[in-house]
């Protein structure tokens, strides 16, 4: 693996990351970057309340149990406003390495949430429906 060279640009005319910092290079491999990102996501996921996690998982199962595809565009309408902020973390955990069989990414579509300005979001389907998991 080759290392990534992440160089912080120097300050020019008072603009830049810090007026007292000189140019700094950080070299990490893609695997190290992925591990750091995973650790950050795990620490953020740990802040999700059990109640919110349960609501989001129930919404996912309710929408996807008949085999339909879904995204946050459809799930958002089923959730209270407070759960909107944590839904992405919960969905990410369901496709993460520790639970790879819950959700399968199918594609992408533009978000219908105003603050996202049409950002691309994932479309999913359940790997196995609730009925299939119960029968197994």
pLDDT in tens, 71-86: 999 888 888 877 777 8
Average pLDDT score over the chain: 78
User: Taking the domain 49-135, which CATH number applies?
Assistant: 1.10.10
Distance CA 79, CA 90 (A): 13
How do residues 10-50 score in pLDDT, each as one tens digit? 555 555 555 455 555 678 888 899 899 888 888 888 888 89
Q: What digits encode the pLDDT tens for the residues 87-110?
A: 888 888 888 655 556 888 899 999
**Where do the CATH 1.10.10 domains begin and end in the chain?**
49-135
Strand partners, 123: 107
The better pLDDT of the pair 80, 5 is held by: 80
Q: What pLDDT, on the 0 to 100 scale, is given for residue 71?
A: 92
Asked if 23 and 11 touch (Cβ cutoff 8 Å), the reply is no
């Amino acid at each position: 693996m080759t290392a990534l060279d992440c160089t912080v640009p120097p300050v020019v005319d008072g603009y830049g990351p810090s007026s007292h910092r000189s140019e700094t290079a950080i070299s990490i491999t893609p695997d190290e970057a992925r591990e750091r990102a995973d650790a950050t996501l795990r620490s953020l996921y740990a802040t999700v309340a059990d109640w919110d996690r349960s609501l989001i998982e129930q919404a996912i199962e309710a929408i996807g149990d008949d085999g339909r595809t879904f995204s946050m565009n459809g799930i958002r309408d089923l959730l209270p406003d407070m759960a909107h902020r944590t839904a992405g973390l919960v969905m990410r955990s369901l496709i993460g390495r520790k639970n790879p069989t819950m959700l399968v990414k199918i594609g992408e579509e533009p978000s219908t949430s105003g603050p996202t300005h049409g950002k691309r979001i994932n479309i999913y389907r359940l790997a196995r429906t609730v009925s299939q998991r119960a029968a197994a």
